[in-house]
Amino acid sequence: MNLNSMRQDMWNEAYGRRGNIVFYPNEEIVRFLNRYVRKRTGISDFMDIMPLEASEWRNFASLDIGCGIGRHIKLLDEFGLNPHGIDLSSEAIAEGRKWMGVLDKQELADRMLVASVTDLPYEDDFFNICVSHSVLDCMPRDTARKGLQEAFRVLKKNGLMYLDFYMDDTKGDMDEEVLSGFDKGTVKSYFTVPGIKELIGGRGSICELKIIRATDADGNAIEYGCRAHVIVRKNV
């Protein structure tokens, strides 16, 4: 069994425990779209924010990397952003395709693929935006590094990417196996701001880096309670 299929088994088991079945979008992705890409201004009205020509808007495509059951694919579709998605877990993709079928969105189901971040099944410079929520920190750092390289490959120049990363002041930049809970057996990686900058390297410029920290009532850190939300523009 190769490493990818071993990790796929772990993620399939995690989806079997149902903890990662999430239907509603993360608010930072909603904010990213409204602020940087296309703002919803009415029930059926949108205002384009990304400075693209009309022909570029007509061919616009977006990608959700590590899409899970597709909650952000549904959101990207509501914004008219022609979404595609990949995930390593065949269980997640099967559940997501079923959901898109129930929503009468067969075209979205068809664009949800089982694949690894390390080998994205798309041509170079294809997507205008990529989103990847709670994914690059849910794998070993080396895999995330290759994944980000792939994300930059498929993103158009000046394309935008939304990413987020776990942070924990006591851990710094490190990877660890999850020993309990619904993600048991998977790997989580923790990042510092310099670690995030190093991972992104010179291929992109950070437009925004926002750290959201949840604590208990006494101000003590909560496990998995701190994340950096990062918006990156591809340079080259």
Q: Which stretches of the chain bind ligand SAM, using CB under 6 A?
A: 7, 11, 20, 22, 66-68, 71, 87-89, 92, 116-117, 133-135, 138-139, 143
Residue closest to ligand SAM, measured at CB: 68
DSSP secondary structure letters along the chain: --HHHHHHHHHHHHHHTTTT---SPPHHHHHHIIIIIEEE-SSS-EEE-S---HHHHHT--EEEET-TT-HHHHHHHHTT--EEEEES-HHHHHHHHHHHHHTT-HHHHHTEEE--TTS-SS-TT-EEEEEESS-TTSS-HHHHHHHHHHHHHHEEEEEEEEEEEE--TTT-SEEEE--SSTTTTSEEEE--HHHHHHHHGGGEEEEEEEEEEEE-TTS-EEEEEEEEEEEEEE--
Query: Which is nearer to ligand SAM, 92 or 129 (by Cβ)?
Result: 92
Minimal distance, residue 83 CB to ligand SAM, in Å = 12
**126 exposure class (CB count in 10 Å sphere: 0-12, 13-18, 19+):** middle
Query: Which is nearer to ligand SAM, 57 or 146 (by Cβ)?
Result: 146
Minimal distance, residue 193 CB to ligand SAM, in Å = 21
Query: Which is nearer to ligand SAM, 188 or 234 (by Cβ)?
Result: 188
Minimal distance, residue 164 CB to ligand SAM, in Å = 9
Minimal distance, residue 148 CB to ligand SAM, in Å = 12
Q: In whole angstroms, give the CA distance from residue 151 to residue 138.
A: 16
Minimal distance, residue 45 CB to ligand SAM, in Å = 27
Minimal distance, residue 189 CB to ligand SAM, in Å = 11
